[in-house]
């Protein structure tokens, strides 16, 4: 893989765009690879995740588990196609999928949609039983998930009107990573991320929101603007949270707007750095960030 030894903890930002729409030249919706303790975990499976994993130099069959932070399409749309492609690429081992309630409905719908092809390939090509390769479990903030030594703790974040949406903390040995998921700025993120080696936090530039709706030509623009502003985190607030949590490094992700002519990396930095003076990664699709003891 691109990041060196088995013990090196790293994340690959596979898709960094917030929201489901894409355009020529834009980044892709959200998915993130986490590598810790020799395990490869996929967090979210937005459109483009399958291609991005291959572009990161990793076989699809290397994924040990998938976690879905919430059921917005920009985080879950490609889950079925990705796992089906892993299966036709040679996946043999059981692969657990964790997410909020509602994930079962998505999965059942995908199985129904692809029933003809799956049944055909099992018989005609002798592929392993698709259904039994995957298990669905729930993410809850009541108990952590132990993925073969990588401990995953969830914090219910604030992403109205989605009730079941989670930030995730990954711990292995001395290394700690926190992913904010989609959320408005929340004070609870500060103790949750305290002392983490790396915080990957969603980020919004409120001054860029009007441009998004202008381009879409919405009739009821106020409703979309309202949704965006009350369910995401202004970059300045993200800087304040990172500073208060004393994280080792901050990476911005899930950009809203994700692709707006005139908004550059310098604008994101300018919003964050008055409030946070530590290492700052302004994410882009394919960015690899090593963190922890061996970084």
Residues that bind Zn ion (CB under 5 A): 72, 74, 182
Please state, as a whole number, how many other Cβ atoms lie within 10 Å of the Cβ of residue 86.
22
Distant-in-sequence, close-in-space partners of 273: CB < 8 Å, separation ≥ 6 = 239, 280
Closer residue to Zn ion in complex, CB, 182/197: 182
Contact by Cβ (8 Å): 22, 29: yes
For the chain, how long is the longest CA-to-CA vector?
A: 61
Closer residue to Zn ion in complex, CB, 171/180: 180
Half-sphere exposure of 275 (CA within 13 A, CB side): 18
CB 173, min distance to Zn ion, A: 30
Closest CA to 229 of 221, 218, 241: 221
CB 155, min distance to Zn ion, A: 15
Closer residue to Zn ion in complex, CB, 225/295: 225
Contact by Cβ (8 Å): 100, 165: yes
Half-sphere exposure of 160 (CA within 13 A, CB side): 8
Closer residue to Zn ion in complex, CB, 72/169: 72
Q: In a 3-state reduction of DSSP, which class is residue 251? A: strand
Closest CA to 258 of 289, 232, 293, 226: 232
Angle at which helices 79-88 and 103-113 cross, to 10°? 50
Closer residue to Zn ion in complex, CB, 74/175: 74
Distant-in-sequence, close-in-space partners of 143: CB < 8 Å, separation ≥ 6 = none
Closer residue to Zn ion in complex, CB, 150/205: 205
CB 191, min distance to Zn ion, A: 23
CB 203, min distance to Zn ion, A: 12
CB 162, min distance to Zn ion, A: 6
Closer residue to Zn ion in complex, CB, 8/233: 233
CB 215, min distance to Zn ion, A: 18
CB 253, min distance to Zn ion, A: 10
């Amino acid at each position: 893989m691109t990041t060196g030894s088995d013990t090196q903890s790293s994340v690959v930002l596979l898709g960094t765009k917030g929201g489901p729409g894409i355009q020529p030249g834009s980044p892709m919706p959200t998915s993130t690879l986490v590598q810790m303790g020799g395990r490869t975990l996929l967090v979210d499976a937005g459109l483009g995740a399958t291609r991005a994993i291959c572009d990161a130099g990793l076989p699809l069959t290397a994924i040990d588990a998938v976690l879905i932070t919430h059921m917005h399409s920009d985080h879950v749309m490609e889950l079925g196609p990705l796992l089906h492609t892993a299966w036709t690429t040679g996946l043999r081992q059981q692969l657990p999928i964790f997410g909020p309630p509602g994930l079962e409905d998505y999965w059942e719908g995908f199985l129904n949609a692809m029933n003809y092809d799956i049944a055909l390939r099992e018989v005609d090509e002798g592929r392993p039983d698709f259904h039994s390769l995957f298990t669905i479990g729930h993410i809850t903030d009541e108990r952590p998930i132990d993925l073969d030594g990588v401990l995953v703790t969830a914090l219910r974040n604030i992403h109205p009107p989605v009730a079941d949406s989670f930030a995730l903390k990954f711990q292995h040995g001395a290394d700690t990573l926190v992913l904010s998921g989609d959320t408005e700025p929340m004070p609870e993120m500060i103790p949750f991320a305290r002392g983490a080696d790396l915080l990957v936090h969603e980020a919004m530039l409120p001054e860029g929101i009007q441009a998004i709706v202008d381009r879409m030509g919405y009739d009821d623009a106020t409703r979309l603007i309202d949704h965006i502003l009350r369910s995401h985190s202004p970059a300045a607030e993200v800087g304040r949270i990172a500073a208060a949590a004393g994280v080792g490094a901050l990476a911005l992700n899930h950009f809203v707007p994700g692709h707006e002519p005139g908004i550059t990396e310098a604008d994101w930095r300018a919003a964050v750095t008055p409030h946070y003076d530590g290492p700052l990664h302004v994410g882009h699709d394919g960015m690899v960030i090593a963190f922890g003891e061996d970084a």
